[in-house]
Chain A
Amino acid sequence: SAVISQKPSRDICQRGTSLTIQCQVDSQVTMMFWYRQQPGQSLTLIATANQGSEATYESGFVIDKFPISRPNLTFSTLTVSNMSPEDSSIYLCSVGISGHPNTEAFFGQGTRLTVV
């Protein structure tokens, strides 16, 4: 398993500003992902954070809005840029741990963002 720490756990931000969310893992992992969970909704994958290269974004998500960094195998950041109230969500970091036979996904506790 893996212990995943996200900071901040919650924040209230003004529209037009940006927030950077940090994800720290207690071990080196190859796969790191960022998900969004809008109020009353399920989880949607934003992007795969690739170490040493640009993140891979899913349909509907772009780098200018959600820039991601992955400087090493234990750390990643997600920035929510130029925020609007529609960005109010829980943002979750996830890591994939190779196992036998399957790779399991573990999640951080999430960052609850409210944009006013």
Chain B
Amino acid sequence: GENVGLHLPTLSVQEGDNSIINCAYSNSASDYFIWYKQESGKGPQFIIDIRSNMDKRQGQRVTVLLNKTVKHLSLQIAATQPGDSAVYFCAENLSQGAQKLVFGQGTRLTINP
């Protein structure tokens, strides 16, 4: 089907390697950040979130790092699998909720066999 994000930055990694996807957010007052995964033809899927009073949070094979000093967010995916191929978006909000999310540009991750 038609791909979402034809003009997005891309990242290609070998299957089994670790990947790091970066995001610069805009509002220094943002208090809550989320990473979403979007596969072709589907809506965004929640991966992991982090609040501004934390600098690191770990999930299953994923880690989110937050650097408020430089307004930078990263998503680390360990031991990538073919199913990790998708477009990844960061999103920010001014409160500890999911209302009125502001999404980043997105990065297309491709896993090479």
Contact = CB atoms under 8 A, between A and B. Distances in A.
A44 B104 CA distance: 10
A92 B99 contact: no
B42 to A, nearest CB: 5
A43 B32 contact: no
B98 A103 contact: yes
A40 B43 contact: no
Q: How large is the interface on A (under 10, 10 to 19, 20 to 34, 35 or more residues)?
A: 20 to 34
Main secondary structure of the interface of B (DSSP, over half): loop
A101 B43 contact: no
Q: How large is the interface on B (under 10, 10 to 19, 20 to 34, 35 or more residues)?
A: 20 to 34
Interface stretch (B2-10, B11-19, B62-70, B72-80): B2-10
A80 B108 CA distance: 28
A43 B98 CA distance: 14
Contacts of B44: 43, 92, 107
Contacts of B96: 101-103
A40 B4 CA distance: 6
A103 B89 CA distance: 18
Interface of B: 2, 4-8, 32, 34, 36, 41-46, 49, 51, 89, 91, 96-106
Interface of A: 4, 31, 33, 37, 39-45, 48, 58, 90, 92, 94, 96-97, 101-110, 112
29 contacts: A4-B43, A31-B99, A33-B100, A37-B4, A40-B4, A40-B5, A41-B7, A42-B89, A42-B106, A43-B91, A43-B101, A45-B100, A45-B101, A48-B100, A58-B100, A92-B43, A101-B96, A102-B96, A103-B97, A103-B98, A104-B34, A104-B46, A104-B98, A105-B46, A107-B36, A107-B43, A108-B43, A109-B42, A112-B2
